[in-house]
């Protein structure tokens, strides 16, 4: 990355694909950031830059590099693929970590479980300039996209009709709103909305608090 491009990224501030870190904090906190990028559309993590864009640099590029390697390989499941480079800016060393969008979503904090447990797995996605926990619905959709699984004999039923009618009068619908509107269980409401997203009938969105809602295309 050349200096001009790095300056432009810093000037743009933190956003969906950019995160600043003045220093390496803990493996788990950094794992959350790179997992969120990998589970969303990829991004860049800059070490040596404060949240407000102030340039501090890092004391040891080698140390940061080793900590990132440990994080990607030992604190993320599956391991995160990334690349890194060092750029000198105003006499200070900046570590640039690039995380591409993953093809094996969802990634989670390493829990040493043989399979992902929806009730305990710590999965993160990127929302605006934040890394937030993914809902069960988002996790299932990430799984279906990675597996390229297709819906078998899917057809629109009465619960889907409730969703369409609800969205005629409202901007969005949540699992709980469908549960009450259709008088069905929360699990069934969740499954209905997930299938509608997979069938390209709805969009799924995540709020800054990690909650999920759905909108029409």
* 193 part of a folded domain: yes
> Looking at the predicted structure, is the pLDDT value of residue 148 above 80?
no
Q: Which domain holds residue 152?
A: 143-216
* 138 part of a folded domain: no
Model pLDDT, residue 146? 83
* 124 part of a folded domain: yes
Is residue 204 within 8 Å of residue 212, measured between CB atoms? yes
Domain's final residue, options 108, 133, 158? 133
Cα dihedral 183→186→191→197 (10° resolution) = 90
* 172 part of a folded domain: yes
Domain's final residue, options 114, 133, 152? 133
> Looking at the predicted structure, is the pLDDT value of residue 150 above 90?
no
Q: Are residues 76 and 119 in the same domain?
A: yes
- How many other CB atoms sit within 10 Å of the CB of residue 143? 16
Q: What is the per-residue pLDDT across 104-123, written as a single tens digit (0 to 9) for each?
A: 999 999 999 999 999 999 99
């Amino acid at each position: 990355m050349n200096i001009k491009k790095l300056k432009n990224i810093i000037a743009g501030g933190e956003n969906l694909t950019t995160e600043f870190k003045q220093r390496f904090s803990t493996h788990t906190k950094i794992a959350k950031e790179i997992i969120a990028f990998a589970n969303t559309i990829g991004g860049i993590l800059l070490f040596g830059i404060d949240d407000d864009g102030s340039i501090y640099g890092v004391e040891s590029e080698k140390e940061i590099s080793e900590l990132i390697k440990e994080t990607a390989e030992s604190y993320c499941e599956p391991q995160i693929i990334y690349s890194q480079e060092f750029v000198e800016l105003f006499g200070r060393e900046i570590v640039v970590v690039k995380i591409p969008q993953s093809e094996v979503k969802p990634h989670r904090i390493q829990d040493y479980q043989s399979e992902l447990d929806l009730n305990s797995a710590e999965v993160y996605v990127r929302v605006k300039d934040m890394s937030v926990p993914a809902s069960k619905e988002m996790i299932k959709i990430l799984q279906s996209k990675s597996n390229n699984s297709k819906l078998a004999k899917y057809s629109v039923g009465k619960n889907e009709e409730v969703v369409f009618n609800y969205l005629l009068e409202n901007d969005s619908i949540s699992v709980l709103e469908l549960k009450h509107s259709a008088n069905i269980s929360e699990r069934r409401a969740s499954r209905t909305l997930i299938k509608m997203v997979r069938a390209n009938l709805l969009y799924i969105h995540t709020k800054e608090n990690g909650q999920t809602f759905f909108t029409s295309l």
